Every structure is written in structure tokens, then in C-alpha cells.
Chain A
Amino acid sequence: MYIIIVGGGKIGYHLAKALLAEGHELLVIEKDRNRIEFISGELGSVCMLGDGCETAVLAEAGTNRADMLIAVTGDDEDNLVACQLAKHKFKVPRTIARLSNPKNETLFHLLGIDVTVSSTDVIMENIEQEVPTHVLTHLLTIRDRGIEIVEVKIPPDAKSTGKKVKDLDLPPGSALAIVIRSDQRPQMVTQDTVIQAGDQIIALTPTDTEEQLKIALQGDNK
């Protein structure tokens, strides 16, 4: 799939990283030159400098052949306009907008945005920092489906270390998607992947079984 991400902040960056690992063709549109340099340094040339709310920029990005546009800037109005341009002018089949103000959800759905994702900004700010006590970090909430995308860091004393994924007691409906290890490229998680201490795992889980997922990977907080 060709996926365009508007906004290269923390969410845009992590999303790009995860989607690239899944093998998608990807472009991040970002206004800030410093962010472009950072992301290009980390992920290679997947960025374009520009305002994702301008038709000219979206045209240059090849939006008319995009399968999906995800707008994750910090401003709801910018995310709305990027998605509406994508949908109406470039006929992008699927548009996803990040919301800072959950009250805007009704309006966005009314205006035809396919999915809105409400993000918890406070947690977001911690994502790129190494917080050893913070085992599970919410990356995204997909409200419609009641699904969370989370990052789990495996601590050294976790009961899952050394086990294969198929032997873990994962809650139904949850899935481990990507494992990120130091000095390695992100890898897809398979049934035979062995969990190691220090792994960063991007996982999907229904909101109500989040705690179970945490326990399965980390062990309960005794």
C-alpha cells in the first residue's frame, strides 16, 4: 500500500517506522526542516518538506495514487483539511485523522473522515524517552473498533523472556506486530519469535484486555 502521513512529529515518526517495517510504501509530509532531517536520518528518504494542507504539495506527493492518508499533526483543523483534500480532491479511499480534542469526533465522522484517532498527548511526549518504569505506552487508539496500538518494552525480569510468542498467554484479539531490537532493523513478530529482555514490541490489543497483554508480556506487578 502507498500510505501518506501528514505530520512528522512523534506520532508520525513512530507510525512511519511501524508501517515501513510492515513493508508499505510511505511518505511523511512535514513543514519543519529539522524534523525532516531527523526522520530521514532514522528511516531514510521517506520525507517531503511542505504543508500537507496545500493542494499543490499533495499533488506533488502523488496523493491521487495513495491508498491511505493519515493526518497526525497536533492541530485538529489541519488534520481535518488534509483528510478532506485527500478524500475529495484526490479520491484517497481511506483517510485517518488524529484528534487532540475528542469533541471533534462527531464532526469529523459527519464530514466523511473514515477513522479518527484520539491521542493522549501527555503519554506521547514520553514515547521517545527511555522510561524503564513505563512498560506499556499507548501509541494510538482506534475508537471505532475499540483497539489500541501500544508499545511494550520488555524489562529484564519479565516472565516472557526466553519464551516463544506461541507459548505466551496473550488475551484474545491481541496481536504482537513488530519487534524492535537494538542494532537491528524492526522485524515482524512470528509465532516462533523468542521474546528477549529489552525488546520493544508494537502490539495491537482491544482496549479492555490491555492489562492482560501487559501481564502476559511482563508478568504481574508483584
Chain B
Amino acid sequence: MKVIIMGCGRTGAMLATMLDAEGHSVTILDINEYSFRRLPPDFKGTALVGDGTDDETLIKAGIKQADAFVAVTQGDNRNIMAAQIAKHIFKIPRVLLRIYDPGRRELYNSLGLEAFSPTTIFAQLLKDNLLGKTRLE
């Protein structure tokens, strides 16, 4: 599978590393080259400096051949805009994104994006662990 990841923070870098290790073709974007320090030395994918809300950058990243696009920058709105460009302009089959704000996440899910809110997921996880329903590390 060819995956484009926007945002090489901890989450983006870890996802890129995991997918790369499983043999998928990964291109990771970040506006700051320094973020790529988070990738392991044996990373076989492509790390590209650029803005994922810019269509020229996306084309350079090979979005026309991509099977999936994942937006995990720190900015909810940046993720939302990039995800919608991938979905509506480039017609990428799978578009996943992070939206911290649960309210916004709910709206964009209803608009057909696969949006995840770490806020909701993590709060739920903490609650379940606290009340002894599950035990995860």
C-alpha cells in the first residue's frame, strides 16, 4: 500500500516507521526538516519537506498514486483541510486524520472523513483503566 503521511511528529513518525517496517511504501511530509530526526536510520520511505495543504507538494509526494492519506499535524484545521484536499480533489480511497477537538471530529466524521480524536480515545482509555475494565500500557 502507498501511504502519504502529513506531519512527522511523534505519531506521524511512529506510524511511518511501523508501516515502513511492514513493507509499505511511505512518504512522510513535514514543513520542518528537523522533524525527520524522529525517523529511524533504516527508514526506507521518502521524507519530504513541504506543506500538505499545498497541491503541488502533494503531487510531488505522489498523491496521484496513493492508496491512503493520513493527516497528523498538530493543527486540527490543517489536518481537516489537507484531508479534504486528498479526499475531494485527489479522490484518495482512504483518508484518515487526527482532530483533537471532539466537536469538530464529530462533524467531519459525519461529512465522510475517518477522523479520530485522541482526546476522546485517551480519556476513555484512562477511565477504563481507572475503573479496572481493561489494562493497557
Contacts from A to B (Cβ < 8 Å): 53-56, 75-78, 80-81, 84-85, 88-89, 101, 103, 106-107, 110-111
Inter-chain contact B89/A54, CB cutoff 8 Å: no
Mask, B80-111, CB within 8 Å of A = 1, is 11001100110000000000010110010011
* Known contacts A53-B76, A75-B77; A106/B89 CB under 8 A: yes
Distance from B36 Cβ to chain A, minimum over Cβ atoms (Å) = 23
For the complex, is B114 an interface residue (Cβ under 8 Å from A)? Answer: no
Partner of A77, one of B80, B103, B107, B111: B80
Q: Given the known A-B contacts A77-B53, A81-B77, A88-B111, are A55 and B84 also in contact in the complex, defined by CB atoms under 8 Å?
A: no
In the complex, whether B55 has a CB less than 8 A from a CB of chain A is yes
Q: List 26 A-B contacts (CB under 8 A).
A: A53-B76, A53-B104, A54-B101, A54-B104, A55-B103, A55-B104, A56-B103, A77-B81, A80-B77, A80-B84, A81-B76, A81-B80, A81-B81, A81-B104, A84-B107, A84-B111, A88-B111, A89-B107, A103-B55, A107-B81, A107-B85, A107-B88, A107-B89, A110-B88, A110-B89, A111-B84
Chain A binding surface, main DSSP class: helix
A57 CB to closest chain B CB (Å) equals 10
B24 at the interface (CB under 8 A from A): no
Number of A-B contacts (CB under 8 A): 53
- B residues in contact with A111, CB < 8 Å: 84, 88
Choice from A55, A80, A89 contacting B80 with Cβ under 8 Å: A80
B75 is an interface residue with CB less than 8 A from chain A: yes
B2 at the interface (CB under 8 A from A): no
Which B residue sits closest to A112, measured CB to CB?
Answer: B111
Taking CB atoms, residues of chain B closer than 8 Å to A101 are 54
Give the chain A neighbours of B103 by CB distance below 8 A. 54-56
Instruction: Take A75-B77, A77-B75 as given contacts and tell me if A85 and B104 are in contact as well, using a CB distance cutoff of 8 Å.
Output: yes
Cβ distance A186 to chain B, nearest Cβ, rounded Å? 33
Residues from chain A with a CB closer than 8 A to the CB of B88 are: 107, 110-111
